[in-house]
Chains A and B, each alone.
Chain A
Amino acid sequence: MIVDGEISIGLVRGAYGLPVALGFALVARHGRYLPLWLPESGMIAAYSAYFLLKRFDVPVSLALVLAMVAGCACALVLHYALFAGHVARNEPFAALLRGIGLIILLDNAASLLTGGYSLAFSRFLLPTNHGTLMLGGGVSLALILWAWVNHTREGLSYRSVAANRQLATQYGLKVARIDLLVVLVGGGLCSLGGLANGLRYGLTAEMMSTSALKAVAVVVAAGQENLLAVAFSMLAVGVLESLCQASTRFSAFESGISYGVLAIGLAIRFLLSPLWKRRSVCKRWRTDTSEPEVTE
C-alpha cells in the first residue's frame, strides 16, 4: 500500500542526496570521468564544522561557513594536485583509480583523527523543518544550475569545454577559468551535501560512500548532461527506498535500489538505446534502398 507519509519521507531522503548528485554530475561532465573523490569534500566540510563547533567553540553560522570554505578549498587543491592533468589529457580511468586511492586515504585519515569513533552534532542544530528546507533548496539548486548550464554564456563555455576541451582552447575560451568555477561549484555542492548529511545522520569516516554510490547511479542512469533528470532520479531513488523500507517483505532490499537504478540505467543507455537506434537506422536504410514496386 502506498502511503503519502512514506512518499514525503522518501522525497526528503532523496533531497539530502541532491547537492552531492548535482555537484558530481557537473564535474563528471566537465572532466569526462567519474569523480568518485568529490563527495569526500563533503566529509571534510562536515568534520571541519564538527571540530570548529566542539573544540574551538566557534558560533554555529560561522562554523558552517568556514566548513564550506574548507570543503571547497580541499576540492580545489585535490583537483589541481591530482586530477587536473588527467582531465587535460582525457584519461578517465587513471583519474578514476586515483580517485579510489584518495578515498581510501581520506577515510583512513578521518578514522585516525577520531580514534575510529563516529561523531554526532547536537540534534538541536538541525531545524525542525529541515525536510522542507532541503527539498525546496535542492529543487531550487537543480533549477538554477540547469538554467546556468543551458541558458547563460558561462554555461555555453562550460558545455563547449566539456564537449571538446582542445577545440574550446583553440577558439579562445577561458578553459582555466571554467575549470576553477566548475570545481568550486561542484566542491561547494558536495560540501553542502556533506554538512546536511552530517547534521542529520552523524559523522563517520565513510559517511559519503552511500551518497557517492547514489550519485554515480543517478548520473549514469539519467545522464550527466541532464541536471534536471539527475535531480528527478535522485528524488525517485529516495522515494523508492522509502517505499521499500516501509513494506513488510522488501524492507531489506532498500539498499539495493541504487544498484538497481545503476544496472537499469546502464542497460538502457548502453544496450537497449544503441540497439533501438541501430534498428531504426536499419529500418530507414531498408526503406531507402528498397526497389520501387513494379505496377502494371
Chain B
Amino acid sequence: MNLQRTLFRALLALSLIAVASCHSKENAPGGVVIGAILPLSGNDASYGLTARNAYQIAQDDARQQGRVPLHIVYGDSQFDAGKAGAEYTRLVEQEHAVGFVEATGSQIALELAARAAQDKVPILSAVDSTPRLTSHGGDFFFRVIPSDLVTSRALCDWAMKNGLRSAALVVNQQNGWAVGFKGATLTNYREQGGQLPDDAILTVTNETSDFNSGIARLNRNKPQVWFVGLMGRQAGLFVQQAAAQGIKGPFIAVDNLVDPVFVAAAGAEQTATRFALPAAANLSELAAFSAKYQQRFNRLPDFHGFEDYDAYFVMLKAVELVQGSGQPVTGSALQQQLKAMDTQGIMGRIQFDEHHDLVNPTFGVFTYDGKGNVIPVR
C-alpha cells in the first residue's frame, strides 16, 4: 500500500513539474514584460516550441547588441481557444504584459484580438495568416506574416502558369487557419478559371488520421493539383496516404507544410509538395540564425522560426522607440510605434498597411529536396 502511495505521489509530482514547465518565464530582469501565448504541449506543440526557441536566440542576439531584451512570459494554449483566453487573462492581469509577441492560431487570434483592442494591448503574430484577421483583427492586432489571401494568390498563379487547371482540396474544418485557407483558395483559384467544384473538397476534423476513402473519392475526378488545408502531422499523413494510392501530386499549400512534423509524417513524399513562402530578403542573416538554432537545439528551424525571430525584434524596436521618446511603455504607445514601424527583418521589409498586414510581400514557390531541406522550385 505504501509503495502504491509513494509511486502515485511520484507520478503526481512529475505531472506537476510538467504543468509548471509550461508556465516558465524567461529571466530578463529590467526588460519590458511581453506575453507569448503558444501551444507548448499537445499535438501542435512544435509551433510553440519553435517560437520559444527563436525567442531565446533573439534574446541572446539582443544582449550581444547591447540592447535590453524583452522579458517574455509564456502561456500554454495547447492550441485551444478557451485555454488561450485564460492564459491571456493571466498574462495581462497577473504578469502585467503590455503587449504580445505571439498568440498562435488564427481562431485564437480572432478571439483575442477583440479583447486586446478593449485592453489596449497590441498582439503581434508571426503565424496567424487567416484572411479574416485583415477585416476582424481590430486596431491592436499586427502580423509579420502575409495573409493567406495574398499567399494563396501567388500559389494559384503558379498552378495556373503550370497548366494545373483542375484541383481537389482537403481541409480541416475545426482549424480556423484551414477554413481561411479554403476560402482564399476557392476565391483565387476559381477567379483565375481553375476547376475546383464543391464535390472536389474533402472536409475532415482534428481527429482524422485516415484519409484513404476521402482520397479515393477525390481521385475519381483525376485532379491535376491537390490543395492541402491541413497542418503538420495531418498534412504529412494525407500526402503519404495519397502517394500510397499512386497519386503523384503536386500537393500545394502555404507555410503549413514548412514544419518538421510534416516532414517526418510525409516521409519521402515530401518532394511532391509545392508551397508559397515570403521570399527571404536577408540570406546571410537567415543562414546565421539557422546555424545558431542548429547549434543550440540540434535541429534546423522551420519557416516560422524566422518569422518569430523577426516578430521579437519588431516588438523590441517598438519598445525601444517608446522608451526613447520618454513615454511610459504602455500598450497604446506600443501600438502607435507598431503602426509606424518600418524595419528590415530577416524575412524582408516589415511595414504595416492600414489593416496592419504586411505591405507588398513578395513570394517564391518552394519544395523539399528529400532530406527535409526547403529548396526553391525552378
Q: Which of B107-115, B156-164, B211-219, B278-286 contacts A (4 or more CB under 8 A)?
A: B211-219
Contact B216 A119 (CB under 8 A): no
Residues of B contacting A242 in the complex (Cβ-Cβ under 8 angstroms):
210, 212-213
Residues of A contacting B267 in the complex (Cβ-Cβ under 8 angstroms):
120, 122-123
**Given the interface contacts A13-B210, A246-B216, does A111 sit within 8 Å of B42 by beta carbon?**
yes
Residue B343, interface by CB 8 Å: no
Counting residue pairs across A and B whose Cβ atoms lie within 8 Å, the total is 127
A window 172-222: CB within 8 A of B = 201-202, 204-206, 210
Contact A248 B265 (CB under 8 A): no
Residues of B contacting A108 in the complex (Cβ-Cβ under 8 angstroms):
15, 18-19, 41
Contact B205 A117 (CB under 8 A): no
Q: How far is the CB of B201 from chain A (nearest CB, A)?
A: 8
Interface string of B196-216 (1 = CB under 8 A from A): 001100111111111111101
**Which of B3, B208, B217, B268 contacts A255, CB < 8 Å?**
B208
**Which of A118, A246, A252 contacts B265, CB < 8 Å?**
A118
Contact B233 A202 (CB under 8 A): yes
Most buried by B among A118, A202, A243: A118
Residue A85, interface by CB 8 Å: yes
For B18, give the chain A residue with the smallest CB separation: A108
For B6, give the chain A residue with the smallest CB separation: A81
Contact B204 A111 (CB under 8 A): no
**Given the interface contacts A204-B233, A254-B208, does A116 sit within 8 Å of B48 by beta carbon?**
yes
Q: How far is the CB of B62 from chain A (nearest CB, A)?
A: 24
A window 240-255: CB within 8 A of B = 241-243, 245-248, 251-252, 254-255
Q: Is the contact region of chain B dominated by helix, strand, or loop, or is it mixed?
A: helix
Contact B260 A117 (CB under 8 A): yes
Whole-angstrom distance between the alpha carbons of A173 and B3 in the complex?
27
Contact B49 A6 (CB under 8 A): no
**Which of A82, A112, A202, A254 contacts B237, CB < 8 Å?**
A202
**Given the interface contacts A102-B11, A252-B204, does A120 sit within 8 Å of B18 by beta carbon?**
no
Contact A118 B204 (CB under 8 A): no
Whole-angstrom distance between the alpha carbons of A296 and B48 in the complex?
91
For A131, give the chain B residue with the smallest CB separation: B212
Contact A254 B3 (CB under 8 A): no
Residue A147, interface by CB 8 Å: no
Residues of A contacting B209 in the complex (Cβ-Cβ under 8 angstroms):
201-202, 210
Residue A265, interface by CB 8 Å: no
B window 183-204: CB within 8 A of A = 198-199, 202-204
Residue A138, interface by CB 8 Å: no
Whole-angstrom distance between the alpha carbons of A84 and B367 in the complex?
53
A window 59-116: CB within 8 A of B = 81-82, 85, 101-102, 104-105, 108-109, 111-112, 115-116
**Which of B7, B14, B42, B216 contacts A9, CB < 8 Å?**
B216
**Given the interface contacts A111-B42, A201-B237, A206-B42, does A9 sit within 8 Å of B204 by beta carbon?**
no
Residue B261, interface by CB 8 Å: yes
Residues of A contacting B210 in the complex (Cβ-Cβ under 8 angstroms):
13, 201, 241-242, 245
For A10, give the chain B residue with the smallest CB separation: B213
Residues of B contacting A127 in the complex (Cβ-Cβ under 8 angstroms):
none
Residues of A contacting B264 in the complex (Cβ-Cβ under 8 angstroms):
117-120, 202
Residues of B contacting A292 in the complex (Cβ-Cβ under 8 angstroms):
none
Interface string of B285-312 (1 = CB under 8 A from A): 0000000000000000000000000000
Q: Is the contact region of chain A dominated by helix, strand, or loop, or is it mixed?
A: helix
**Given the interface contacts A202-B265, A204-B233, A246-B216, does A251 sit within 8 Å of B41 by beta carbon?**
no
Residues of B contacting A254 in the complex (Cβ-Cβ under 8 angstroms):
204-205, 208
**Given the interface contacts A5-B216, A118-B43, A118-B261, does A245 sit within 8 Å of B211 by beta carbon?**
yes
Residue B240, interface by CB 8 Å: yes
Residue B321, interface by CB 8 Å: no
**Which of B7, B14, B198, B213 contacts A243, CB < 8 Å?**
B213
Interface string of B1-24 (1 = CB under 8 A from A): 101100110011011001101000
Q: How far is the CB of B311 from chain A (nearest CB, A)?
A: 20
Q: How far is the CB of B220 from chain A (nearest CB, A)?
A: 9
Residue B131, interface by CB 8 Å: no
Whole-angstrom distance between the alpha carbons of A55 and B4 in the complex?
32
Q: How far is the CB of B209 from chain A (nearest CB, A)?
A: 4
A window 6-44: CB within 8 A of B = 6, 9-10, 12-13
Contact A252 B42 (CB under 8 A): no
Contact A204 B198 (CB under 8 A): no
**Which of B43, B48, B203, B207 contacts A251, CB < 8 Å?**
B203
Residue B173, interface by CB 8 Å: yes
Q: How far is the CB of A196 from chain B (nearest CB, A)?
A: 13
Residues of A contacting B229 in the complex (Cβ-Cβ under 8 angstroms):
none
Contact A210 B213 (CB under 8 A): no
Whole-angstrom distance between the alpha carbons of A245 and B205 in the complex?
10
Q: How far is the CB of B204 from chain A (nearest CB, A)?
A: 7
What are the nearest 5 A-B pairs in CB distance? A116-B45, A108-B18, A246-B213, A242-B213, A252-B203
- 11 other contacts beyond A105-B12, A111-B45, A242-B212, with CB at 8 A cut-off? A6-B217, A81-B3, A102-B11, A109-B14, A117-B46, A117-B49, A118-B43, A120-B233, A202-B236, A248-B217, A255-B207
